[in-house]
A and B are shown apart, each in its own frame.
Chain A
Amino acid sequence: METYNLRVNGFARTVESDDPEKPLLYALRDLGLTATKYGCGLGQCGSCTVIIDGKAVRSCRTSVQSAQGKSVTTLEGLSADATLHPVQAAFIKEQAAQCGYCTSGLIMSAAALLASNPKPTEGDIRTALDGNLCRCGTHVRVVRAVLAASGQGG
């Protein structure tokens, strides 16, 4: 067993694995951080999106080894206690989730977008979220929520 030191949601965490290629997704879920979801394991759907050093990445295609020493944020750690990140607040206000399985990944992708582009156009938002799949059909609300979270739109 090797140990890997990660920084997750602001806290130092140690993960043990016999496999340096173990995806970060499973390391996070083993830590009880289950908001990050397995969708395909292929980097095709975005359900497992987390933010590493400011960028939205697919945790199913990121090994624990490569995440060593980096700062990982999951949906659980997106906001400080009892407050909501503007993207979370806007998703709730717009009721931009149905089954909710893809929601974590969508919020993380949207939060990463706003961190680098605080006033995205609708086109920017659609492009940034194009790698996140949603089967229930919440897209229209999601785009509206991200616009609202950036202080734009209704």
Chain B
Amino acid sequence: MKPAHSALSRRRVLQGGALTVAFALGGSLEILAQGAEPAKTLDANAVDAYLTINANGTVTLYSGKVDLGQGLRIALPQIAAEELGIGVDKIRLVEGDTALTPDQGRTSGSTGIQRGGMQIRRAAATARKALIDLAAKQMNVAADDLTTTDGSVRPRFGGAGKSFAAVIGNGRFDVKLDPKAPLKNPADYTIVGRSLPRPDVRAKCTGGMKFVHDFKLPGMLHARVVRPPAIGARLISADESSIAAFPRTRVLRIKDFLAVLAEDEWTAMRAHDALRAQWSEWDGLPEQAKFADELRQDASITEQVLVDKGKAPETLPAGAKRLSATYFWPMQSHASIGPSCAVADVRSDAATIWTASQGTHGNQATFARFLKLSPEKVRLIYMDGAGCYGMNGHEDAAADAAIVSQAIGKPVRVQWSRADEHGFDPKGPAQLLDISGAVGADGRILDWRTDVWLPQTTKGLPYIPLLGPLAAGLDDVNGLNTGLISQNTDPSYAADKIQVVAHWLKTAPLRPAPLRSPGKPANCFAVESFTDELAAAARMDPVEFRLRGLSDPRSIAVLKRAAELAGWQPRPSPGSDKGSEIARGRGVAHVHYKHDETYVATVIEIAVERASGRIKVERVVCAHDCGQIINPDGVRAQVEGCIIQTLSRVLHEEVMFDRSRVTSLDWASYPILRFSEVPKIEIALIDRPIERPFGAGEAACAPIGAALGNAVFDATGARMRTIPITPVRLAAALTDHRSG
């Protein structure tokens, strides 16, 4: 077995190890590896990459997936503890450290449990089998007669056991993950399926939690990067004398990369604002008012048929109706509450970067490339940041810090400003969808076609394009990274014919990145709104219409459960509430996430003030089936987050821009949902202990836009097809509706 990172000196590994914060359950923070972080494998197929049995009876669990506040810090130890046969309080977790944890892919796509957790379950099951086999030889008994509980291998039918540490000694498992290692029967679970509290919440509530924003190194300088006033502007000149009044500051310029450095943050901020720099003009952004329509004319489009199944009737039967509609979802920001921050210590031979990136492993090659170091000499260590939901500015801030640190030879902290974050975080891309279809008088969907315009992830993009390296001319990677945004563009319902054509754009006005539930809130908004339009055309109740077209029993179950919990009264939309100043309505939407994962049905109840177009969301009911539930309260927290964050996106959020730059640079111009707007939320979790666990961090986002738009239609008869559904837009639609 090769050491973890032969290229890093042992001293540096130990330094880093000492800085790796592990969470002991019960809330206290513990510093891991104060002296002896043993060399370990990072091979994601090896048990030793995930688990170390410690002499003191604890187990260290190494996860490439990280906790962003979504609860992996308890859920992953629950999975490992259950499968190993040890108390969850004995598990210590190390997350997202390229020198210590296996590469399990980015913490994205709601895969933390369903992929990362299942690798850990497999590793723990393999370890358990190995411990039993070893103990059987040592104790001279049959392996079948042994079991594991409380961190010991014991005879099934009584007698003295032997601790895991005593069984394995100082040794390693030296085995690959065994797909045949027996898994515990879910009926026997005592740890998985329980709402154990998250170990980091206490520290977050007392001030003990150290975020990357709070991390310091001796001799560290504070840098602020000066972003261009127009996105594509080039730096002509920077006048260092303009910051001479600020003590011990300096300017760093590398081509178009411009930064100021100071010994403290406030001085760096003042110097940033005072620095005079001249930039070239640039006005390459589209006109926002025409942006949606112009997507169709983009010269870079390539078409791809995503779905083509069935055959539509050649002539529509009597009573059938044909409809078409266009839906638009704008660019949105991750809108993290804390602007991105990172610390880097780049030496001539190696680099260490502390970052809140959701993909420390995936960024190792990217950073190595622009730092011109070999990947094994670049170590990225995850630390908590402000919630990210995909890829905000964390990676860019880390690259900024690394570039500056390398240039000046000292540790550097880079903190973005609020305007940097709103202006330059990679954006959830815009999506435009045309849907046409036909419905029979009996409610059968006879024909369905979706055309969707959306930016395409550049095939084989080897590195993630980051602002700093591009500005400094250190890298020439160009391409788009959007996430899997074309899923759920087709309905889940039976139809004679379904066709989906993607019109892929090679460019996007603002740099795109995956944003929570990439693409699905937009696609589901269009598909489930159009489903509602078909139901209304057939004068059928929206729940009944959907049930008629569903065959997957789990889809049917969530829809029925949500309707039952909501007290849904079957009737066609819109309702009869026509005259009052306040119109009330309800809407439903459903998703089988990616047509492969979690099932969600959501009912939203609203009140609309007709005169102003103001919507009050009064109640959200959500039925949620993510298969086996690891931690019910953790799932609930994620579902609440999906609902609230997506309501915010649907009601308020649209990145505003002129021809040169983003103009929505603060919380006044880019508002998000506030406490006074948050509705009553009721969640029904459907637990299926014997099914695979799926993610809970994204799926419940998808139906929110359509459930809300359908509720607006139910209340008022006006169909909203553009996000955000603002009072101005709704008031205009209500005027049109009355006059039309």
Contact = CB atoms under 8 A, between A and B. Distances in A.
A100 B210 CA distance: 10
A134 interface: yes
A140 interface: yes
A4 interface: no
A96 B210 CA distance: 18
Contact of A42 (B210, B211, B270, B666): B666
Interface string B597-635: 000000000000000000000000000000000000100
A3 interface: no
A92 B386 contact: no
Given A40-B667, A45-B337, A88 B205 contact: yes
Max chain B C-beta neighbours (<10 A), residue from A23, A47, A100: A100
Interface in B56-96: 68-70
Interface in A120-154: 125-127, 129-130, 132-143
A96 B633 CA distance: 11
| SS of B interface (majority) | loop
A53 interface: no
A111 B301 CA distance: 55
A143 B358 CA distance: 29
Interface stretch (B115-123, B281-289, B668-676): B668-676
A32 B561 CA distance: 50
Given A133-B674, A136-B641, A138-B641, A97 B201 contact: yes
A26 B641 CA distance: 30
Contacts of B678: 126, 139-140, 143
Contact of A138 (B247, B336, B640): B640
B364 to A, nearest CB: 24
Interface string B386-430: 111100000000000000000000000001011000000000000
Interface string B247-264: 100000000000000001
B228 interface: no
Interface in B185-215: 197-198, 200-202, 204-207, 209-211, 213-214
Nearest to B207: A35
A99 B68 contact: yes
A42 B418 contact: yes
A37 B387 CA distance: 13
Contact of A130 (B211, B388, B418, B675): B675
Contact of B384 (A100, A125, A137, A143): A100
Interface residues of B, number: 56
Given A40-B418, A42-B667, A133-B672, A98 B387 contact: yes
B640 A100 contact: no
Contacts of A133: 337, 667, 672, 674
A140 B265 CA distance: 34
A130 B207 contact: no
Interface stretch (B139-147, B455-463, B642-650, B731-739): B642-650
B266 interface: yes
B21 interface: no
A140 B674 CA distance: 11
Contacts of B70: 98
B335 interface: yes
A75 B209 CA distance: 11
A136 B197 contact: no
B666 A40 contact: yes
A17 B69 CA distance: 35
Contacts of B484: none
Nearest to B387: A99
Given A18-B247, A104-B207, A126-B675, A39 B387 contact: no
Interface of B: 27, 68-70, 197-198, 200-202, 204-207, 209-211, 213-214, 247, 264-266, 269-270, 335-339, 384-389, 415, 417-418, 633, 637, 640-645, 666-668, 672-676, 678, 681
8 contacts: A34-B210, A97-B201, A102-B337, A103-B205, A135-B337, A138-B640, A140-B644, A143-B678
